[in-house]
Each structure stands twice: as structure tokens, then as C-alpha cells.
Structure 1
Amino acid sequence: MTNLKHVLTYGDAFVDYIANNTNNDAFTRHLGGATVNVAAGVSRLGVPSAFITVTGDDETSAFVRGELEKEGVMLYPSIIVPEKRVSGVFIHLTPDYDRIFADYVNETPDIQVTPNDLLTEAFQRASVFHVCSGTMFHPEALKTTEKAVELAKANGVICTFDANIRPLRWDSEQRSRETACKFLQTTDVLKVTTDELAFLMETESMEEGIARLSAFNIPLVFLTDGKNGTYALFEEDVFHIPVIPVQPVDTTGAGDAFVAGTIRYIHLNGMPKTKQEVIECASFSNKLGALCATKAGALTAMPRLEELERLNR
């Protein structure tokens, strides 16, 4: 543990089992999950990173912890419950070598980090606390997220939220929407895609969606639109930040790379205070998202700081 301020992230760890061939009879395992990508992505950008999650006593859990430690992610706020089994996602290859989601295995969904497991010290040491909606479908995880945000606010920590909407994990789209929108009220920085904006604000019009989102008075919103770049909502202004064109190989994880870049900027500089600072933050994050898209995989494609030189030539 270090006395330096770190970025603190809460969420589920996953293991992605990715097919080695189109017969889908052999798989290579990779560490996965949106919040894992962010925690590791931040560390790869040279920022101290700590992660709150729960793992078990089996070999797969040991693999997860080992991979996170290799990435330099501190696990002191995490817990081990022997019976916990990390969720697995099986990804098959089509004859055209496209990746498709084939199966999701979660043997122990009710073993979660509880509010009582949260370490106040972890929040006292944090510069930024990051979460997404991915775990909130579970009642206990929702309570833990609420308590974590409460601890972050009490300790003056900047809260970032990636909507990361996954309706299939919820019992209803409406509950997914209502839960995510509840957290918009305590968010300092929101990252949301154009599709997620339409889902959350219940309109296909981006202009109307932005207008409805403005009612939440979020200090800074980044609305990402893939190759079209990013729109920033800041001080009642909306402006566009373009992205450097790249030849995409796999866009998986590009949004997580964007979030990691945004968090790094805020960790080093604090919240952007001017339009120019917002543009600088988004431009940096856009580059990371674009660079991630030029490589296959998610965590394996999370950029390192030195790699940005490729896009700056």
C-alpha cells in the first residue's frame, strides 16, 4: 500500500474464454470486465489504481488476482470469500472470425461485496472513485454501490460513472434505466454512448436526449459516438471533440480506454475548469479509445502511455 492518492474502482471481475478457432473447441482465458479494464487501464497510464471486488479460493480466482497484480492494480480493498466463483463469459468465433457471445456462467451470483466490506481508508486515499451500472442489477451490489458513493462524497472524492448499460442482465429495461438515472444525481463525470443516451432518456433525438440529461446538472458529461468522436456537455454548452481516424480491428474496450484516459487527466489535474481543459481531457481520452480499437481484445488492448506516440506522429 502507498500513501499516494490512487484511483479507486468497484465492480465485478470476469474471465473471458475466447475460442482459439472456429470449431470453438479450445479456449484461451483472459481477464475481463468493464471495471477491470478501467482499473488496469488507469494503472497502464502510470496512475496508482486500486480495485474493490470479490474472488474465491479456487484456481480461477487466483488467476484473476494474479493478472490484476501483474497490471499493478492494488487489491487491498478487495475481499476473498472461499465459495465465490468468478463469472465466465464464453466467446465463440464464427466462420468469418467474428466474435460472438455464446454463454455466460455465474455459479455464485449472490456472493457480493457488501456495504460492511468497504474500507473507509480506501476512500480516504482516493482521488477518483469509478463505477458503472454493470453490477447494480443485484440488490446487494446496488446497496454496496450506494454506500461506496456515499463514502466517496464524504471524503471529497470525484465520482465518475460509465453508464455501460447491459439490459440483458436486468429483469426489466425500466429498472435498469431507473437505477442508472438515480446515480446520475451524484455523478461528477458521466461517460455515456449515444445509444445509452437514447436508452436512458427515452428518445432517439440526440438533441432532446441532451436536453433531458441536462436536468440532472452533471458537472461534466462525455457523450461518445465511436469514430465520430465525442460531445462534451459542460456549463450549459455542448461542443464536439473529433477523434483521430484509425483502422479499427476490434472496438471492444475502446470505451473503457476512454474512461481510463479521462480518469488519469482528472487524477493529475482535478476536474476540468474551462472549455479548453475539457477539450484537452477529451482529446487525450479519444486517442486512447482509438488506439485500443487498433488491437484485438479488451484488457489486452488497453493502451500504455508510451503507445500514444504512434498516434502523435
Structure 2
Amino acid sequence: MKILCLGEVLIDMLSQGAAPKDSSTPAMLPFQPYAGGAPANVAVAVAKLGGQSAMVSKVGNDTFGEFLKAMLAHYQVNTDFVWTTDAGKTALAFVNLDDDGERSFDFYVDNAAHKHISEDDLSLIQCDDNSVLHFCSGSISTPELLPSTQYMLDKAKQNNMMVCLDINYRPAFWDDTTKAPVRIDEAAKKATIIKASREELAALYCEDNAEIKVQQWLQSGVKLVLVTDGGEPIHYYTATFKGTLASPKADVKDTTAAGDSFIGGFLYYITTCVGNTVEFNQWVERAEQVNEATAFAIRCGAYTVTQFGAFSALPTHDDIA
């Protein structure tokens, strides 16, 4: 199966330690540019493990855009559907890390290139039941993005294509955060697989309602919900069973792409087990198979937090052997 990743590919400007202290003049932290963007990280995660992936996005006609397309190609991600536009610039995300490797973000995404993905662009993409459409809530966060994302979701459904939603809630992406809970809920009910963090569920639906929301998604037809919780155990839920797996201890340096590595590893693993949507629907009914896939995904995420950056931090098979 092939994984199609829809959404932003951007530059992560990652802080590189403390600002110089040998002067009384204020100084900014130094930043190093890395290729990133949650959907792009997943595409690279799949490809580095040996799977087939394609990126569906737009970049600006600028130096950053050229760099991102070259990096995706370097990691064997199909870039046939990464278009270049003069209508917007390549998005930037400045990422500050605390002593525990946890992040804070400053996004520069106003009129970003990926917001100009059109239905005409997406009409060129062939959808079928041996592909998976992966996207994040950033792709439904503004009015410019909604029509094209909805078009792609409808196209996926019409062609019996699996859909994976990583909620990946970033308030700074949203034009109006009060719309996020309902909009994400509506998109989630169209998914086959949902990945969310405990923190995101609490922020969107309140801590006490998190389990209720998961059950509502399963009742709507979602086949599998994966809930991460930082370094705490991972929970998975289907309509007929649920399970919990511990996360290994890790020397955390940077959590930038940890969640993307997890879901990318999970999607890669299922492509080695099933060939189409019908086979997945049968596969997901067996707890031991879901457990094995989740354990593999956990190893991917655990490796990534020990590395800096995004694309470069994602594991190969040798890294997690």
C-alpha cells in the first residue's frame, strides 16, 4: 500500500542552545533550518523504513521550497504532487526547546504556499483502495484549506481509500480555535485510523470527556484510535477491544517529530501486512496484530526523541533493530 500525505511541508528553524553571553548587547538564539512539517515527516518516516509514500503539498518559488523538494526526493518520497507556486511563500516554524526537549512554536504561515492547494491540483491524484490518505488537523484549520481537504476526503471515500487523521493540534495554525473541536470531530468521523495525544483530547474535549469522544468516533465507523501520552503508556482502541503498551525510557533530546515517527511507523507496518482496505478491516479485528504494530510504532517514536531535527531523526530499520 502507498501512503499519500496531504498538508504542509515547511522549514523547522530549530533553536541551537543559548544565545551568546559575551556581550551586553541582546542577542537572539541561533537557529538551524531543518526540513519538516507533520505530514511531510510521516511521508519520510514511511519511506525511510522502506515503504511507498508520496507528499501532496505546495511550496513557494523560493530557496526554502527548492530545499524541501530536494530533501523529500533524497529520502525517496514521491514529489509528483508537490507543486511550486508564486502565490505564497514556503511556511516557517521557529521551534524552541526546553531542557527536557519539549517544544514551543512560532509559526509563519500567513498566506503560506500550502494554503493554495486547489481542487484542480488534487483532481490529478489517483485514489484507490490500496492507498492510505494521511492528514493532520492543520489541513482544516483555515477557510483557505477547508475546500481542498474536504474534496480529498470525499474523493478518498468514493474510492474506498483508507484515511488516517493525526489530530496534531497546533492552536497557532487556526484562524479561530473555538471552531477546532467541532471541525476536528467532523473530520475524525470520516477517518479509518485516528492518532491523538492525551493532551490534545483534553484541550479539545476536556479531560473527563476524552474516553467518551474516542468511543463516539469508534461508534461512527472509525476502526482504530491510537492515543499517545508523551513518555507514558500508549493506548489503542477498537470497537471490540482496547490495549495499553508502555513506552521505553529514552534519552530525550528533541521531541519535534516523535508523534510523526510513531504514526509513520504504524502506517508503514500495516502496509507490510495488508494490501487494501478490505484486508485492513479484517486485520484490525485481531488484538495481537494491532498490539504488534503499535509496539513497532513505539520503537520508532522512542528512537526519534534521541535525535535532533525531523527528517534526519526518523529511523531506518537498522536504527530500531
Which residues of structure 2 form unaligned runs of 5+?
20-27, 275-279
Shift of 1:146: 1.0
Matches of residues 195-206 of structure 1 in structure 2 within 5 Å?
Answer: 195-204=199-208, 206=210
Partner SS, residue 50 of structure 1: strand
Which residues of structure 1 form unaligned runs of 5+?
none
Q: Does 1:269 align with 2:269?
A: no
- Judged with a 3 Å threshold, the aligned counterparts in structure 2 of structure 1 residues 99 and 39 are, in CA distance, closer, same or farther, namely same
Out of 35, 41, 63, the residue aligned to residue 39 of structure 2 is 35
Aligned residue in 2 for 1:243 = 247
One-letter amino acid matched to 2:315: P
Measured against aligned partners, the alpha-carbon deviations of 1:2-23 in whole angstroms (never above 9, x if no partner) come to xxx5211100111122244522
1:22 and 1:92 in contact (8 A); partners too: no
Aligned residue in 1 for 2:108 = 105
Q: Distance in 2 between matches of 1:82 and 1:164?
A: 28
One-letter amino acid matched to 1:305: H
Matches of residues 166-245 of structure 1 in structure 2 within 5 Å?
Answer: 166-204=170-208, 206-245=210-249
Q: Distance in 1 between matches of 2:209 and 2:182?
A: 20
Deviates more, 1:171-180 or 1:115-124: 115-124
Partner SS, residue 22 of structure 1: coil
Out of 124, 130, 137, the residue aligned to residue 133 of structure 1 is 137
Out of 256, 261, 265, the residue aligned to residue 252 of structure 1 is 256
Matches of residues 35-74 of structure 1 in structure 2 within 5 Å?
Answer: 35-74=39-78
Q: Does 1:285 align with 2:297?
A: yes
- Judged with a 3 Å threshold, the aligned counterparts in structure 2 of structure 1 residues 254 and 164 are, in CA distance, closer, same or farther, namely same
- Judged with a 3 Å threshold, the aligned counterparts in structure 2 of structure 1 residues 172 and 274 are, in CA distance, closer, same or farther, namely same
- Judged with a 3 Å threshold, the aligned counterparts in structure 2 of structure 1 residues 278 and 97 are, in CA distance, closer, same or farther, namely closer
Deviates more, 1:293-302 or 1:159-168: 293-302
One-letter amino acid matched to 1:36: A
Aligned residue in 1 for 2:311 = 299
- Judged with a 3 Å threshold, the aligned counterparts in structure 2 of structure 1 residues 99 and 232 are, in CA distance, closer, same or farther, namely closer
Deviates more, 1:281-290 or 1:233-242: 233-242
Partner SS, residue 247 of structure 1: coil
1:187 and 1:218 in contact (8 A); partners too: yes
Q: Distance in 2 between matches of 1:66 and 1:211?
A: 42
Coordinate RMSD, CA, aligned: 2.4
Shift of 1:26: 4.0
TM-score (norm 1): 0.88
Q: Distance in 2 between matches of 1:102 and 1:249?
A: 16
Out of 4, 11, 21, the residue aligned to residue 7 of structure 2 is 11
Identity over aligned pairs, percent:
25
Shift of 1:206: 4.7
TM-score (norm 2): 0.86
- Judged with a 3 Å threshold, the aligned counterparts in structure 2 of structure 1 residues 144 and 308 are, in CA distance, closer, same or farther, namely same
Q: Does 1:84 align with 2:88?
A: yes
Deviates more, 1:180-189 or 1:124-133: 124-133
Q: Distance in 2 between matches of 1:68 and 1:17?
A: 17
Deviates more, 1:101-110 or 1:241-250: 101-110
One-letter amino acid matched to 1:279: N
